[in-house]
Structure 1
């Protein structure tokens, strides 16, 4: 049977229309961020830039103290911005983050800051994907505002919502036809380790880059993440604040419509039980996120094995650009699209190329540098693509 001959289960999107364009509610964090929160985040994202965890090194920098990477902005919102992109019930559906677009407005985040998240469900479209047949791409906006009333960033997140029953049919048809699927080839750990050290050396000291030192066609250093494993996926999950017991409280009184049904009965979170055992609402131990670290559950939604989170892949890409831009640079806009999961056993390689250098239209004396990034596994499987706009001073 080919994919074109599969009889797909129908996708019921009738509950989605009422959420489009609506401001929506959600939980918020009780306490301000700490240096420990930043340290935990960069450790989980495999980003050993000392600006974010070594206070002595950071004190010597242009920031003068520990500063969060720009990827940390998503730390503040439940689901790392995905909460606003998954409103409304689709019976039997699972969801996965597949794209991110960001606009940064200047303020950076430091220990002691508080951030409020304003959310709105933006839109959705129904299409057919090679992975799961009838699917929904759903978008939501999150605006991040610090406790001084400054807008830090706006994020437009995209979630893929699909029926695992259809994804399994496609995977089974591919196997029956002798399809390649995802090769179960483990990355060479020693080789990856040496490549990571080579990458880390490119930002081991203070990086101060300016526009005059950048040219179209410049290749960025090779970035490396991995090899991925259940341990690394779990570490990434544990760096998120929204699954820590007791850290959330109800936000302003706006409607809620985050889906509570899941594709499988053993992933349903029962609020009454979770009130007694908070671990039942963890997501990783119980709930849809367990598909990332449980082989049987991963295969139940059409994945070949355990796999990484869309938000983490987006964060890797943002950190990669931030490390290259250095202390004088800042990401002003980014657009990331996921192509395939980062699978357990694989490594992810990031390659960047400067595509344009021009005057920044918003800041006199600054350059706007456009960088294209591709992410691929050691087997040359495309994991994602991104385009970044970076603000640099023309000269130091």
Structure 2
């Protein structure tokens, strides 16, 4: 843990109450565990929500002709089979009057595919934190947590390190950074929507059959086909949220690691008024812990609630942006390629009305790597229609020789 020099409070400035955060650093935590294995419908719902039309993940006939013999899940589904978008170990400790947005993710994938019938189990740990002063909200906590994903056989599927940004809602609302920076919501003309559709189709057809580029064929400086997603809307944000399986009524139970005195299973992290869950009431009425009707995620689809947590209007999910990046690279890598590692820094959300563009370039090649496979390094940027950067990613992608 650390505190940036720029975060040192001046006389009279607001400070974060970290008294419940400090004692938990480095400790394993609990969280939610899905009851049921991953189904084909879960996989199809996920790629539909991510607007990822790779037929290997939804088309049964295509899947049967593939080396897998059926559809399989995309690598990005690991986060959909976890509780809380992977944020649980990065949201530990009560900070009264606070809210949370995602700050970034780092993923390592170990070559174990998720197939229909598989079930993932998670081990979670609060890693560390730092405090910095931000224009958005003043004193801001950047908190990191680790999750290990294994399947029902104990095989290692993925590791994730997530970064949350926790801030005081009152400070963010007072500063109104996004409200001041954003103009009117973009209204797209029919001609503009036709062009977006053309670019989407062009990317979709760029590797629909999943043919992997060969390591020897690609070179540093090559660019990947551009992808576009959008326009984003309350409908798309809702579809995305509902594809995270823990949001479906009754899909998970609470679990805790053994030997931890206070494993932070479902304590209130201090959500500002109107954004908490009613855990006891939800035992009778599950809507009382449904994140779109109540709880911390409701601002994503409700402009009024978004304003109460410092956002200008309805906005997208960090976990979704991370999944988009992994899907984008996996689609280019094809059915014999694999995303081994990706680190994504989130700079800002996709707001309602925005369109998101993906651009990437190969920056390095390594025939020998710590993974024991040939890798290419790719730098990826997500930006909106105004050129505002939403995500910057660096990834290592395995390609066949």
TM-score under structure 1 length normalisation:
0.93
1:344 paired residue among 352, 355, 362? 352
How far is the alpha carbon of 1:27 from its aligned partner?
1.8
> How far is the alpha carbon of 1:304 from its aligned partner?
1.1
Would you say 1:104 and 2:109 are equivalent positions? Answer: yes
Residue 169 of structure 1 pairs with residue 171 of structure 2: no
Query: Does residue 221 of structure 1 match 2:228?
Result: no
Tell me, in whole angstroms, the C-alpha distance in 2 between the residues paired with 1:362 and 1:5. 46
Q: Verify the 8 A CA contact 2:28 2:257 in the aligned structure 1.
A: no
Q: Which moved more, 1:201-210 or 1:109-118?
A: 201-210
Shift of 1:203: 2.3
Q: 1:371 aligns with which of 359, 374, 378?
A: 378
Equivalent residue of 2:160, what SS?
strand
1:354 to 348, 359, 362: 362
Match for residue 100 of structure 2?
95
Structure 2 match to 1:186:
187
The equivalent of 1:48 in structure 2 is 53
Contact 1:116 1:145 in 2 (8 A): yes
Alpha-carbon distance in 2 for matches of 1:21, 1:261? 17
Contact 1:102 1:335 in 2 (8 A): yes
Relative to structure 1, is the Cα distance of residues 36 and 275 closer, same or farther in structure 2, using a 3 angstrom cutoff? same
Match of 2:6 in 1: none
Q: Does residue 323 of the first structure (1) align with residue 318 of the second (2)?
A: no
Three-state SS of the structure 2 residue aligned to 1:266 is coil
SS of residue in 2 equivalent to 1:260: coil
Query: Compared with structure 1, are the counterparts of its residues 180 and 22 closer, same or farther at alpha carbon in structure 2 (3 Å cutoff)?
Result: closer
Does residue 200 in structure 1 map to residue 204 in structure 2? yes
Determine whether 1:380 maps to 2:374.
no
CA deviation after TM superposition for structure 1 residue 257, in Å = 5.1
Please, what is the CA RMSD of the aligned residues? 2.0
Does the CA contact (< 8 Å) of 1:226 and 1:346 recur in 2? yes
Q: Deviations over 1:126-178 (max 9, x none)?
A: 11112111100000000001111111111000000001211122117x87xxx
**Aligned with 1:83 (options 79, 88, 95):** 88
* Ranges of 4+ aligned residues in structure 1 off by more than 4 Å: 4-8
Q: Which residue of 1 aligns with 2:119?
A: 114
Distance 1:231 1:181 in 2: 21
Aligned pairs, how many? 386
Report how far residue 25 of structure 1 moved. 1.1
Contact 2:85 2:319 in 1 (8 A): yes
C-alpha change, 1:249 and 1:258, in structure 2 (3 Å) is closer
**Counterpart of 1:304?**
312
Q: Which residue of 2 aligns with 1:274?
A: 282
Distance 1:308 1:293 in 2: 8
User: Are residue 256 (structure 1) and residue 231 (structure 2) matched?
Assistant: no
For residues 301-338 of structure 1, the C-alpha deviation after alignment (integer angstroms, 9 at most, x for no partner) is: 11111000000000011100000000011111110010
Cα distance change of structure 1 residues 128 and 383 upon mapping to structure 2, 3 Å threshold: same
- For residue 205 of structure 1, report the CA deviation from its aligned partner: 2.1
Secondary structure at 1:110 match in 2: coil
* C-alpha contact 1:209 1:325 (8 A) present in aligned 2: yes
Which residue is equivalent to 1:128?
A: 133
Q: What is the aligned counterpart of 1:242 among 243, 246, 271?
A: 246
3-state SS of the aligned residue for 1:12?
coil
Q: Give me the TM-score of the superposition, normalised by structure 2.
A: 0.92
Residue 182 to residue 157, structure 1, CA distance change in 2 (3 Å) = farther
Q: 1:62 to 1:296 in 2, by over 3 A?
A: same
Say if 2:155 is the partner of 1:157. no
Cα separation, 2, equivalents of 1:5 and 1:196: 50
- 8 Å contact 1:8–1:166 — kept in the other structure? no
Which consecutive residues of structure 2, in runs of 5 or more, have no partner in the other structure? Answer: 1-8
Match of 1:46, SS state, is coil
